């Protein structure tokens, strides 16, 4: 925002002048969405932010239509969803758009998060931006969980039972917290009612934090693949039309994927068990969360032992909950754990393999989260390790990544950074001039 390389908005018509002098809304929109200077070297990973904005709007719009027909009552919720799918005009389209949309939202957010990790986007001066992102991620997880309970199928009921039980692990107040979550002595009608209410509320809280997130982005401006800040006008391009066209293109490509699942395999990303109405007397064989929660589910289940602290013994349940929430909260400390002078992993040869190891760890934790705890990891008939032990190893690897960051930063010999974004772009295009060359101008500006 500190740069004003590109012309700002000046009202021309009388009406615009009149309005702008009272509320400079158009000028604000222009500076944020038109003349905002963006590094010219952003790659396609940087389109995930706009894709996320699109998904948030899409979820809210489809959600509002669903709420017009959905009935939050334990006897009617399940059949009201079937009613939407069968009898409501285009309900067969809106419901999958919303359900598949949740998965797409998470897919985009994971791309967004890993991009931030790879390019060190969380480093100064973008710590607040990053922490707001972690808060958004937590809000998204809460919203998704609450939403998954609403169809009141078997996974809804049992997922709600498992997740709400986490809170009973909190020493002292756990039981009270859980009874407030339930609104009774077990997951039941009051639970469903308050979950519906909160599921409607949280997206608007997400909107609020998104505004702060975008605001916090516009103060320092975008990070970029080379991790050097904009210095001169040559390093930047105005947001419009360069990044508006690039983002639109990316959104349409993303929509192809979204449409693929929505129209052709709307139930692929969900669980067949959730088409069985909730039944308290039957426990599903495997209670498994949605794919986007699986790594954390694996971490939760990895803690199977007590942790004696001398004055207090953390039981395995509380230990699991602490590990699971810790796995998310630790992200908020990244700006200080990573003490490297260099942001982008492109220039960090020692950190690069650690980044990919971390990525792989998350994928494998996700796989382990979908497995029963008592199974064994086999290759052919070759027994590798028990799933629980495997979860423990990879949970350790997950946290070790954060513990190693300061050490890596200290001992790493980073590659030289380009002098400017413009130079990095020239180098990438192979059009950088050799030092000391004195070409004649072949183009008139």
Partner 1 sequence: MTKKNLLVAGALLATLGAALIGGTSAKAAEGAPIPPAQEWSFSGAFGTFDRAQLQRGFKVYREVCSACHGLKYLSFRNLAQPGGPEFSEEQVKALAAEYQVTNATPNDEGEIFQRPGRPADRFPSPFANDAQAAYANGGKAPPDLSLMGKARTYERGFPLFIIDMFSQYQEQAPDYIHAIMTGYVEHPPEGFSGVAYNKYFLNNAIAMVQPLHDGQVEYPKNADGRAVVPETIDQYGKDVAAFLVWAADPHMEARKRLGMQAILFLIVMSGLMYFTKKKIWKRAHAEEHA
Smallest distance from partner 1 to CB 422, Å: 8
CA torsion sign, 223 to 224 to 228 to 234? negative
CA torsion sign, 51 to 52 to 57 to 62? positive
Smallest distance from partner 1 to CB 55, Å: 15
Residue placing its CB nearer to partner 1 in the complex, 137 or 347: 347
Smallest distance from partner 1 to CB 368, Å: 9
Smallest distance from partner 1 to CB 426, Å: 6
Residue placing its CB nearer to partner 1 in the complex, 17 or 280: 280
Residue placing its CB nearer to partner 1 in the complex, 165 or 244: 244
Tell me the Ramachandran region of residue 206: left when phi exceeds 0, alpha when psi lies from -120 to 50, beta otherwise.
Answer: alpha
Smallest distance from partner 1 to CB 276, Å: 5
Smallest distance from partner 1 to CB 267, Å: 6
Residues that bind partner 1 (CB under 8 A): 40, 79, 82, 85-86, 92-93, 96, 234, 237, 241-242, 245-246, 248-249, 252-253, 255-256, 259-260, 262-268, 272-273, 275-276, 285, 353, 356, 359-360, 363-364, 367, 371, 375-380, 382, 384, 422, 425-426, 429, 431, 443, 445
Residue placing its CB nearer to partner 1 in the complex, 126 or 346: 346
Smallest distance from partner 1 to CB 405, Å: 20
CB distance 242 to 38 below 8 Å: yes
Residue placing its CB nearer to partner 1 in the complex, 28 or 260: 260
Residue placing its CB nearer to partner 1 in the complex, 182 or 347: 347
> Within its chain, how far is the Cα of 445 from the centroid?
43
- Beta strands 307-308 and 313-314, pairing class: antiparallel
Residue placing its CB nearer to partner 1 in the complex, 86 or 175: 86
Residue placing its CB nearer to partner 1 in the complex, 114 or 215: 114
Smallest distance from partner 1 to CB 229, Å: 19
Cis peptide before 129 (omega within 30 of 0): no
């Amino acid at each position: 925002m500190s740069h004003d390389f590109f012309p700002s908005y000046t009202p021309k018509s009388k009406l615009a002048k009149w309005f702008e002098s009272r509320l400079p809304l158009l000028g604000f929109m222009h500076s944020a969405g038109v003349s905002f200077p963006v590094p010219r070297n952003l790659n396609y990973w940087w389109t995930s932010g706009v894709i996320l904005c699109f998904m948030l709007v899409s979820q809210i719009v489809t959600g509002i239509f669903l709420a017009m027909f959905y009935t939050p009552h334990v006897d009617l919720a399940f059949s009201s969803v079937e009613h939407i799918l069968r009898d409501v005009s285009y309900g067969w389209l809106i419901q999958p758009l919303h359900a598949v949309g949740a998965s797409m939202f998470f897919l985009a957010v994971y791309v967004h998060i890993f991009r931030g990790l790879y390019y060190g986007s969380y480093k100064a001066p973008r710590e607040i931006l990053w922490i707001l992102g972690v808060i958004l991620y937590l809000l998204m997880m809460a919203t998704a969980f609450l939403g998954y309970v609403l169809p009141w199928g078997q996974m809804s009921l049992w997922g709600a039972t498992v997740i709400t039980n986490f809170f009973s692990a909190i020493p002292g107040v756990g039981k009270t917290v859980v009874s407030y979550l339930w609104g009774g002595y077990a997951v039941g009608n009051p639970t469903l009612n308050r979950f519906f209410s909160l599921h409607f509320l949280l997206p608007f809280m997400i909107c609020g934090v998104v505004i702060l997130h975008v605001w916090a982005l516009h103060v320092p401006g975008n990070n970029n693949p080379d991790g050097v800040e904009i210095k001169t006008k040559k390093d930047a391009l105005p947001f419009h039309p360069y990044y508006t066209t690039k983002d639109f293109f990316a959104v349409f490509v993303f929509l192809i994927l979204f449409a693929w699942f929505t129209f052709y395999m709307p139930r692929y990303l969900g669980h067949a068990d959730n088409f069985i109405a909730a039944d308290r007397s039957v426990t599903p064989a495997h209670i498994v969360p949605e794919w986007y929660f699986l790594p954390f589910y694996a971490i939760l289940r990895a803690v199977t032992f007590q942790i004696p602290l001398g004055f207090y013994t953390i039981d395995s349940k509380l230990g699991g909950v602490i590990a699971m929430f810790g796995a998310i909260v630790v992200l908020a400390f990244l700006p200080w754990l990573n003490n490297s002078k260099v942001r982008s992993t492109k220039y960090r040869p020692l950190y690069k393999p650690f980044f990919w190891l971390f990525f792989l760890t998350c994928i494998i934790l996700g796989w382990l989260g979908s497995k029963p705890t008592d199974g064994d990891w086999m290759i052919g008939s070759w027994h590798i390790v028990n799933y629980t032990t495997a979860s423990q190893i990879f949970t350790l690897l997950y946290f070790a990544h954060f513990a190693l960051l300061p050490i890596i930063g200290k001992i790493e010999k980073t590659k030289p950074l380009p002098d400017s974004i413009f130079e990095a772009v020239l180098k990438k295009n192979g059009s950088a001039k050799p030092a000391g060359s004195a070409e004649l101008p072949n183009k008139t500006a």
